[in-house]
Amino acid sequence: MEKVQVKDAKGKLGVLTVGVGAVATTFIAGTLLARKGQGIPVGSLTQLGTMRLGKREENRFPKIKDAVPLANLDDIVFGGWDIFEDNAYEAARHAEVLTVEDLDKVKDELEAIQPMKAVFDQDFVKRLHGTWVKQAPTKWDLKELVRKDIQSFKEKNNCDRIVVIWCGSTEVYLPLSEVHNSLPALQKAMKEPNSDQISPSLIYAYAAVEEGVPFINGAPNTTVDFPAMWDLSAQTQTPICGKDFKTGQTMMKTVLSPMLKTRMLGLSGWFSTNILGNRDGEVLDDPGSFKTKEVSKLSVIDNILQPDLYPELYGNIYHKVRINYYPPRKDNKEGWDNIDIFGWLGYPMQLKVDFLCRDSILAAPLCLDLVLLSDLAKRAGFSGIQSWLSFYFKSPMHDNEHIAEHDLFIQSVKMKNTLRQIIGEETIDFMD
């Protein structure tokens, strides 16, 4: 198979996080610790995962990072934006995800990461009140300020390449409108005063993609999943991917649902509830932001189970999702699932799942992988929606002509096959 022409990963890779809160600081601090040999990047496929090459009897199972031309962790330079002025060390201490003992091992590097002023709109995040924010007459002007930030960071830190990743809060639900259907309509809306169809996340995405910088949407926001942004990414030959990091409860759904379908077991209902207490939990306590998350979480089961094909098994599922803000838990989320299934002759059974997870601990390795793989995609000349990265998202992006794949194991095969193609190896059409 012909190898894809990939530009060398030479020079520094600038990683700009939108939001320097719990997820971002856990990602940044963890990466700094890992490259010092003071922590293991557990959960990162690019760092710990292997990939079979050739026939099984050849016994070639190299680590992905050894087989694929990824950027080296030592070459990453971190920066970002936030609505609060705290540096990354102060923000990490406030988030209380990592221990002070671990944070102090990279304290100097974290303290040097001073967030740039953020784009903030109270209408899109009701429960937060930003104090370190940009001011400009229009959202187009705000976009220009973000572009200048990207350019300045790249120049100041002597970076060869940049990737932007959204690690911020969930915005209120924004249904698609005519504004999002074409690039001229989007540009017109951005230049109008106080357009309510342009979210802060969209402003960051537009600035990055216009600059030719890969953009990763880690939240369920309406950000890059519409035709206007697809057109812009095609124009600038820029990879985009999203949306909403697949971390806890939804990851379980993408594993358990294929099990039910593979065994032709029926499903009557799936009730999911969560308690969490970090900033994300506070934001999701607002009905508008919860609606955005709910849409993302609800999309998984129907896609995997295909009720149209199996109406007697999945044609009448009752699916409910709840998220409850509970401050004492901080970043330690608990997700309960009650799953009512049925088997032979319709006899009922139940599954109960209680996942005591840590959102930022699960999200951090996804951030690292997505940054490295998006940079790889850019160097490989890929652009537009990176569907091969669906493995990492609750609600994988797709265009109007395709259906998203949610099955975690099919997603894994697709991702590894894309990596095989990049390095000129034969693809494998079954699990490895």
Residue the block writes with tokens 């671990």: 102
Distant-in-sequence, close-in-space partners of 383: CB < 8 Å, separation ≥ 6: 233, 234, 236, 237, 238, 239
Q: Residue 332: what pLDDT?
A: 87
Tens-digit pLDDT profile for residues 233-248 = 999 999 999 999 998 8
Section 45-59 average pLDDT: 94
| 210-238 as b/e: b if 16+ CB within 10 A | bbbbbbbbbbbbbbbbbbbbbbbbeeeeb
Mean predicted lDDT score pLDDT of the chain: 93
pLDDT-above-90 percentage for the chain: 75
Tens-digit pLDDT profile for residues 91-142 = 999 999 999 999 999 999 999 999 999 999 988 988 888 999 999 999 999 9
Q: How many CA atoms lie within 13 A of 192 on its CB side?
A: 12
Q: How far is the C-alpha of 76 from the C-alpha of 78, rounded, in Å?
A: 6
Q: Residue 431: what pLDDT?
A: 56
pLDDT band at 50; cut points 50, 70, 90: very high
- Give the homologous superfamily in CATH for domain 12-245+361-422: NAD(P)-binding Rossmann-like Domain (3.40.50.720)
Section 2-20 average pLDDT: 93
- Residue 404 scores a pLDDT above 90: no
According to CATH, where is 3.30.360.10 located in the chain?
249-357
Tens-digit pLDDT profile for residues 168-214 = 988 988 888 999 999 999 999 999 987 889 999 999 999 999 999 99
Which of 132, 1, 27, 126 minimizes the C-alpha distance to 372? 27
Query: Which fold does the domain 249-357 belong to in CATH?
Result: Dihydrodipicolinate Reductase; domain 2 (3.30.360)
Q: Residue 333: what pLDDT?
A: 86
Q: How far is the C-alpha of 26 from the C-alpha of 35, rounded, in Å?
A: 14
Q: Residue 278: what pLDDT?
A: 73
Q: How far is CA 301 from CA 51, 112, 271, 397, in A?
A: 28, 43, 12, 16
Q: What one-character-per-residue DSSP string does 121-146 give? A: -TTT-TT---SSB---SSHHHHHHHH
According to CATH, where is 3.40.50.720 located in the chain?
12-245+361-422
For residue 33, what are its two tokens? Answer: 């610790």
Q: What one-character-per-residue DSSP string does 298-309 give? A: HHHHHHHH-TTT
